Copies of this chain bind each other. A is one copy, B any other.
C-alpha cells in the first residue's frame, strides 16, 4: 500500500487539550525556592506582592492536570492547535531515513510560543484585580507576547527591554507599542535599581538579570501592579505543556511515537512545553524516548554550568533557585539568539538533566544559523535564531540515523519564526557573522551565594 504523504497533522478546535500538564505531580524531592533575604524556603505570602494567587498556587501545585480557563482557551483558539509538520524537504536534503517532524509555534502574531503563557498570566492577573503588569524582555518575543495578552485583557504593560536589544531591534519595540505597552531600555531611570546600576555602569548594555530586577522592583512598589516572567518558573513551563500535549495527540492520530524529542533551551520554557508530556511517559516506563535540550554554546548552562542554588537576577530580588547555572553575573556574548542568553535554567529541567532523564547539547552561532538557512530553503520557514539550535540538533541526529542506517522518528519544537531576526541572516549571508565560541568556564570559579549546609 502506498504510504499517504502526511504533510502536516492538524487538530480541530475540539481536539485542543483543555488542561495543562503539571509535571510537579510526578516528581519527588524538588528543591524549594529560597528567599534571597532569609535563605529559607519561599512562602506563598512572600510571592504575593508580585504574583496573583492562582499563579502562586500553580507554581507550587502537585495536581497533575490544571484546567485551562475558558477565557484562555478562547484566545488559544485564535492560533491553536498548532500544526505538526513532516519535514520532507529537510529529510530529502539530508538524505536521511529518519522521519523528521516539527511542531510549529511561530504561527501567531507574536511569532513564538511565548503567547501560551502570556495569555494565562494576563488572565489570572486581571481576575485578581490587577491593573498593570511589568516584565523584562531580551530578544523581544516574551515582551511582544505579554503586550498582546495585556492588550486583550485591558491591562497596562510595562516592558524593561535589555538595552542592547532595544537599540538593535527597534521593530520589536514598535511591535509592543502597537499593542499599547510602555517599553524602556534597561538599565533605565525608572527604578532605583536601574538608577544605581547606571551610576556605577553608565555605558551598560544591560542583560536579562538586570531587567528582571527592574521589573520586579516596579511591581513591588505599586499595589495595582504585578510582575510576569516568560520562562524559568514552573507555572510558565506548565502553560507551555499545551505544545507537547498537542504533539502527542497528533502522533497518536498517525499512529506513531517519536524516538527523539528536541527543543532549544534558554530559560527552558519551550523545551519544557514540548518535553514534559514525553518525560511523563518516560517516567511511567511507557517509552524510552531520548529528550534533548539544545542550548547556545555562548551560554551553556546545562553542559558547562554547575547544579547549585543561585540567584535568578542581578539585583537579588527573586528567589534563589537550585538549577544549572553559570553564575548570576555571567555575561554571555551578544549572540543573535537573545532568548538563550540566561545564566540559569528552569529548576525542573535542571533536575531532570541532573537525574539523567534528559540530555543536553550546545551549538555555536555559526552552525545553528547555517542550519536555520538550510531549514528555510528546505521547508520554507525562516526560523528564529533560538529555534535554529533545535534544528541543528535534529539535523545531527538525522545524519546519525543515516550513518547507522536506522529510521528514527524525530520531533522538534520550532518555537518561533525569524521575521524580526533577519539581520542575523544578513550577517551570515555577508560572511560577517561572528561565531560564538564557548566561553572558558571554570566550574570552581562560578560565583554562587553562600548558603550554609545547602551548597555542595
Contacts and interface: CB of A to CB of B under 8 A. Distances in A.
Given A7-B77, A171-B423, A174-B429, A179 B109 contact: no
Interface in A315-341: none
Interface residues of A, number: 43
A212 interface: no
Contacts of A89: 152
Interface string A64-81: 000000000011011100
Contacts of A377: 151, 178-180
B7 A426 contact: no
A422 B10 contact: no
A419 B7 CA distance: 26
- Chain B CB count within 10 A is highest, among A5, A108, A376, for A376
B174 A426 contact: yes
Nearest to A151: B377
Interface in A48-101: 74-75, 77-79, 85, 89
A171 B417 contact: no
A118 to B, nearest CB: 11
Interface string A399-423: 0000000000000000001011011
Interface string A1-31: 0000101101011000000000000000000
B179 A77 contact: no
Given A8-B13, A13-B10, A171 B380 contact: no
What's the number of copies of this chain in the assembled complex?
A: 2
B7 A78 contact: yes
A175 interface: yes
Nearest to A81: B10
A426 B175 CA distance: 8
Given A78-B7, A426-B171, A111 B419 contact: yes
A265 to B, nearest CB: 24
Contacts of A417: 109
Given A7-B13, A8-B13, A420 B423 contact: no
13 contacts: A5-B74, A7-B77, A8-B77, A10-B12, A152-B380, A174-B425, A175-B422, A177-B426, A178-B377, A178-B422, A178-B429, A180-B377, A419-B420
